Structure 1
Amino acid sequence: MTTYQDAVAVEATIAGQAWGETFGRVMWAVAGCFARREARTTAAELVAGLLLEVDTRNCWTLAQALGHPGPHRLQHLLSRARFDHERARQEIARLVIDELAGQDVVLVVDETGDAKSSTDCVGAGRRYSGAIGGVGLCQVAVHLAAVTATTKVLIDRALYLPADWAADEERREMTGVPEEIGFATKPQQALSMAADALAAGVKARWFAGDEVYCGRELRRGIRALGLGYTVGIAATYQVTDGAGRRREARRMVNKVRPEQWMRRQTGHGTKGTREYDWAWLDVRPDDAPDESENVNGAGTSVLVARRHRYTGEVSCFRCWAPGDIALGTLVEVISRRWRIEETFQLAKGFTGLDQGQVTCWNSWMRWSLFSLIAAAVLSLTAAAVHEAAEQQPDLVPLTCPELIRLLRALVLPPPVRDREHILHWTAWRRHHQAVATACHQQRHRRHDQP
């Protein structure tokens, strides 16, 4: 056990150095996006504060943990400070691209929802979200991740505005939605982010998504960008087989003979390696940018089926590659899509992606940006530790949650918890809540007057 502890101690030292270097590079990359030094300093405090050990992460709790006398500095940074957050997002994306240079990158897209209590929040509406486990009042945002064999980093996001919300001029004005932002479907947002990533210099060959992103227009756009794709499809999705017959995907999969299924490893979990049975069938493409290619059959268009080795549950994926491709390569790309769920868990569990309690456009864009920056610093730090430290065969690689525990214990300052500070914040919160209660009651009385 002492040998393992010595190895972990070495990793902790490397992690502390890698954290300082990565954090410094990230904040230097966005330094030119701030008009004032004070806002830049507050932004660095916020990024580091998101990783502190606090119960929830919002302007109140983080300001208290950082030792501020009130939340006003953080609230000003999110809402009114002169800060080009779109340029900052581009700079962070370029930094991540440089860090991933030379690696095989897959662009993965997925959406996630955050539960809300009021329709006054920008983009909030009643809709289905897997993150909240059903239909409810929530915000939904589409995210784009750059995933390699060892690293996964969110590099872009777009808040989804439902058609009725995007057309409501009063709500748009109240929340500060820019005039150039209109209604766009989730596939349209995904295609736009993928195009921006490639224009920024991402060296990707593949795009991956779930059933939301299997539409023909998106697949045609992805092909026009020069990418292959693997997208999930429903069992009832109609495809055209090699003979030109339209069939449901599940009916085609039912024709696969037992000897045609191949078992392949798809990754590692907490209980060991994950293995599924895989098969593929030829289908005709329907999404070529040049319609004549649909007839000529350029590239490789296949339907890939994945079967659970115990339950027999089958999932289907529509795939296209610009040239000849092996099943193992498609399995690798499909498997990388699942890793975006791990980035959501990291961003929500440790960097407060869904805890901001912000209501306006600028505040949402900036809070989500700082959360993604904090998550990116963690991912790049973990990658640097993996590269520099000698891997112990009896220890799993250092994960981001374990890295956060090390940073909190050895590098990050502890939350401010002295007696006077706690008493000050207790008094501030109770007074603020009393004023809010009085204003709320006064509003009700005015509303009830004839």
Structure 2
Amino acid sequence: MMSGGASVEETLDLWASGLRSAKERIAPLFTQKRAAASACAFLDVLIGNDPRKTGWMRAEAAGDPGPWRQQALLGRGHWDADALRDVVREHVVEHLGTEDGVLVIDETSFLKKGQASCGVGRQYTGSAGKITNCQIGVFATYVSARGHTFVDRALYLPKDWTSSCERLKQAHVPDDVVFATKPALASMMIERSLEAGVPFRWVAADSVYGVGYVKRTLRRAGIGYVLGVKGNHWFGSWATNPLIAGEAKDIAANLPEQVWHRLSAGHGTKGEQLYDWAYLPLADLDAEEFDCPIAGP
């Protein structure tokens, strides 16, 4: 028996039913039955146990004689990736959506050796902790008491890509794509989630996103946020007593010890992740200042 009271057989039946439902949702995105079948087989392989999933390994697991069908699906097939994103988002809202949900923005890198992959270049990646040859994607994850999963994504294109029309054309980048910073990409994803009716009260992100783009988007929407900033980020309060001004690191250093609270962010690869938090109001803003119909936290 499983800890939740369901047998192994019942759990497997539930998984199989959920997978069939997912396939039924995505199949209409593909105009040919053969392409839809390849997409469903690709999904089977992605959630399989194989630690490495090269083209040949995926083909073997799917029962194909070679990787050509899956290569065609990923490289030459015509289907709407944004429509697939919307299907995934609808599924997430249906099963995980709660009014007090949280949208988490973060990026990750994909290490590459060549120069042909779209957006690849020598750039800093936190995954490797250094500047290296890679692609970088910005992702939005939905988190609630029911679970968590991805709901949106955007590929970051460095300026040496967006400034080269020939390079963009060779990588089949749409003509309307222009350079956008990571915070700008994050703001677009937040706005898409709001327009789609994704229920969330907070957005969390690290210091890459603790800048104007994201804050303005959230303030206008009346959404609360917890955004990291660098130690030299300058803050100035207004309508507070006493008034506060200075760099983040100096403000934090001058706070009395008793206002700090140590909280756990869960377990990581090196054990429990503990952080010290202090609450310091810097302003009391009216929603009308940002053309917002409701006040954010």
On whether the aligned pair clears a TM of 0.5, the verdict is yes
Matched residue, 1:131: 127
Q: Is there any run of 5+ residues in structure 2 with no aligned partner, and where? A: none
Root-mean-square deviation over aligned CA pairs: 2.7
Q: Are the equivalent residues in 2 in contact too, given 1:239–1:248 (CA < 8 A)?
A: yes
AA partner of residue 128 (structure 1):
Y
The structure with the larger Rg is 1
Shift of 1:52: 2.6
Distance 2:46 2:228 in 1: 34
C-alpha distance 7-99 of structure 1, shift in aligned 2 (>3 A): closer
Partner of residue 18, structure 2: 22
Deviation of residue 62 (structure 1)? Answer: 0.6
8 Å CA contact 1:94–1:201 kept in 2: the answer is: no
2:195 corresponds to: 199
1:153 is aligned to 149
Please state whether the residue corresponding to 1:204 is helix, strand or coil: coil
Q: Which amino acid aligns with 1:223?
A: R
Alpha-carbon distance in structure 1 between the residues aligned to 2:285 and 2:156 = 27
Whether contact under 8 Å (2:219, 2:290) holds in the other structure is no
Counterparts of 1:28 and 1:149, CA distance in 2: 27
Instruction: Tell me the equivalent position of 2:260.
Output: 261
Alpha-carbon distance in 2 for matches of 1:285, 1:237:
20
Q: Given the two structures, how large is their TM-score scaled by the length of structure 1?
A: 0.60
Go from structure 1 to structure 2 and tell me whether the alpha carbon gap of 1:102 and 1:178 turns closer, same or farther (over 3 Å shift).
same
CA distance in 2, matches of 1:199, 1:132: 35
- Determine the structure 2 residue equivalent to 1:186: 182
Q: Report the number of matched residues.
A: 293
- Which amino acid in the other structure matches residue 296 of structure 2? P
Determine the structure 1 residue equivalent to 2:45: 49
Q: Which runs of 5+ in 1 are unaligned?
A: 294-298, 300-320, 324-450
Q: Which residue of 2 aligns with 1:38?
A: 34
1:280-299 to structure 2, matched below 5 A, reads: 280-284=279-283, 290=289
- Alpha-carbon distance in 2 for matches of 1:141, 1:269: 22
Matched AA of 2:39: A
SS state of the match for residue 193, structure 1? helix
Which one of the candidate residues 203, 212, 215 is aligned to 1:219?
A: 215
C-alpha distance 271-135 of structure 1, shift in aligned 2 (>3 A): closer
User: Quick one: which amino acid aligns to residue 49 of structure 2?
Assistant: E
Kindly state the Cα deviation for residue 51 of structure 1 after the two structures are TM-superposed: 2.6
The match for 2:88 is 92
The alignment partner of 2:280 has SS state of strand
Q: Is the 8 A contact 1:217 1:287 kept in 2?
A: no
Give the aligned partner of residue 168 of structure 1.
Answer: 164
Kept in 2, the 8 Å contact 1:113–1:138? The answer is: yes
Q: Which of the residues 138, 145, 163 maps onto 1:142?
A: 138
Q: Secondary structure at the match of 2:208?
A: helix
Q: Tell me if the contact between 2:2 and 2:8 (Cα under 8 Å) persists in the aligned partners.
A: no
Does the 8 A contact of 1:236 with 1:249 survive in 2? yes
Deviation at 1:162, TM superposition (A): 0.8
Q: Distance in 1 between matches of 2:276 and 2:180?
A: 37
Q: Secondary structure at the match of 1:43?
A: helix
Structure 1 counterpart of 2:38, which letter? T
1:193 CA drift (Å): 0.7
